[in-house]
Amino acid sequence: MTADSDVAIDTAGHEHELKRVLGPMSLVALGVGATIGAGIFVITGTAAAQYAGPAVLFSFVFAAFGCLFAGLCYAELAAMIPQSGSAYTYAYASFGRFAAWVIGWDLALEYGVAAGAVAVGWGGYFQAFMTNIGMPLPIPHALMNAPIGVDPHGGLMLTGALINLPAVAIVAFVSLLLILGVRESAGANTLLVAFKVLIIVMVVAFGLPLISAHNLTPFIPENQGKFGAFGWSGILRASGVIFFSYIGFDTVSVAAQETHNPQRDLPIGILGSLVICTVLYIFMALTMVGLAHYSTLNVPNPVTVAIRAGGWPLAWLEPWVNLGALIGTSTVILVSLYGQTRILYSMSRDGMLPRMFSRLAPRSKTPVYGTLVTFAFGAFLGGIFPIDILGELVSIGTLLAFVLVCVGVLVLRATKPNASRPFVTPFSPITPLLGIAFCGAMMYGLPGDTWIRLAVWFIVGLVIYATYGVWHAKKPVFEL
């Protein structure tokens, strides 16, 4: 590794290092904060109502296994290459600049679109919460919803709205928080994570004893004659859709340059956050489909609908659920924007993107320009598109990144067998192969339109790479 491997340049041309302020508990909170949000509060209802019914629990289990295998591979690479940039840096150190560009551009899609998607969910719960406290928002309908929607055939249509203003506003607020500095952001995130996890535990504790067996029958609804419309194919499609609920634990690896002891702390952060989220998701999903019939959950606030279906014993929980959803989605936006700024920082540091993305503010040592660009991207997506389009796009981008990480572990075991591995993926090559199989199956189950949108994104990326990145790329800052 070169002497200046952790160095960036601020607007005055001075060298600075990102501050190492994060420990294992902060990393676990970072991963949980990135993971628990719009997925459990919004996407679960859509997946149950449209694809899997009560068997969405199987979808969560299937997705969890994919995350487990990919997470173990992530942990090995994160410990081997403790540099900011996540799978992008791993690919650059292992396979060269083109592979690095492909996965870096894919991660930019994951984090940026995730911020926009979660902002949409935040807007829906914000409206519900303000109504709970007797202060409905005096904003016209046209400024509270996405102008683009999905028609019954899966195509795009105009809804008549102008912009989802609450979604834009929350992205702006979180971007400002990130500009203030990572210590302030991480501290706020830890407190918010603790509160939203408490709300989820309360919903499960008070709602689970009230579930009805009638709502769970049939547990696997009969297929309606096409792939993905209930039955076992619906479970597979739902697993790809609700995979959106799991993205975020990999964000921990992006924080390598701001971690006290990355070789020890990164695996703890990645795997610890994944275990916590998986347990919470399975119990929360069971509570939701047990309290309310799955057909009623295709709404922006399915947890609220489930609580209402539980009757008066749970009525007191409704405002707390809406508040917990607001907090949950806020932390996901925070960490998604954080992840994208660090991806842009790493790609700029390596010459793949213009130098301004790796310039740090003199006081906060944060990449201000990258944060501003990320804000514009996330605000545009959240203000224009609905959550189902954005959620599926995030899922396919993340699944592709996970497949590439699993492939990377296999390749490095063959090409760099003697490299230092502070954390070793167990049962290799079985674990990486299972990660590829599970994540690949979930990609296969996603709708065809999602694949087309992913292809368009990569075509745009290849144009940028051919006109800028290939001419300015440097040697990787970390080589095995």
What pLDDT, on a 0 to 100 scale, did the predictor assign at position 211? 94
Is the separation of the CB atoms in 397 and 109 below 8 Å? Answer: yes
Residues 6+ apart with CB under 8 A from 275: none
pLDDT band for position 154 (cuts 50, 70, 90): low
Is the separation of the CB atoms in 379 and 336 below 8 Å? Answer: no
Which tokens is 120 given? 């949409």
Is the separation of the CB atoms in 40 and 201 below 8 Å? Answer: no
Distance CA 124, CA 328 (A): 13
3-state DSSP call for residue 96? coil
Average pLDDT over residues 26-54: 81
pLDDT at 110 over 90: no
**Burial class for 113, CB neighbours closer than 10 Å (0-12, 13-18, 19+):** buried
Is the separation of the CB atoms in 474 and 351 below 8 Å? Answer: yes
The kind and range of the H/E element at 296 are none
144: β partners: 164
pLDDT at 12 over 50: no
The kind and range of the H/E element at 240 are helix 231-242
Range with lowest mean pLDDT among 243-257, 314-328, 333-347: 243-257
What pLDDT, on a 0 to 100 scale, did the predictor assign at position 360? 81
3-state DSSP call for residue 168? helix
Give, in degrees to the nearest 5, the angle at Cα 271 between 367 and 190: 50
What pLDDT, on a 0 to 100 scale, did the predictor assign at position 205? 94
Instruction: Write out pLDDT tens, residues 240-254.
Output: 988 878 876 666 766
pLDDT at 5 over 50: no
Distance CA 204, CA 126 (A): 22
Domain locations in the chain?
7-472
Is the separation of the CB atoms in 84 and 258 below 8 Å? Answer: yes
pLDDT band for position 293 (cuts 50, 70, 90): very high
What pLDDT, on a 0 to 100 scale, did the predictor assign at position 247? 74
pLDDT at 85 over 60: no
pLDDT band for position 195 (cuts 50, 70, 90): confident
Architecture of domain 7-472: Up-down Bundle (1.20)
pLDDT band for position 476 (cuts 50, 70, 90): low
Instruction: Write out pLDDT tens, residues 224-242.
Output: 888 888 999 999 999 998 8
pLDDT at 456 over 70: yes
Range with lowest mean pLDDT among 82-96, 146-160, 167-181, 209-223: 82-96
8: β partners: 16
Which ranges of 133-164 would DSSP assign to H, the alpha helix?
A: none
143-180 exposure pattern, b = at least 16 Cβ within 10 A, e = fewer: ebbbbebbeeeeeeeeeebbbbbbbbbbbeebbebbbe
Range with lowest mean pLDDT among 33-42, 63-72, 383-392: 33-42
Average pLDDT, the chain: 82
Q: How far is CA 440 from CA 239, 357, 430, in A?
A: 11, 32, 15
pLDDT band for position 219 (cuts 50, 70, 90): very high
pLDDT band for position 206 (cuts 50, 70, 90): very high
What pLDDT, on a 0 to 100 scale, did the predictor assign at position 248? 67
pLDDT at 138 over 90: no
Is the separation of the CB atoms in 336 and 115 below 8 Å? Answer: yes
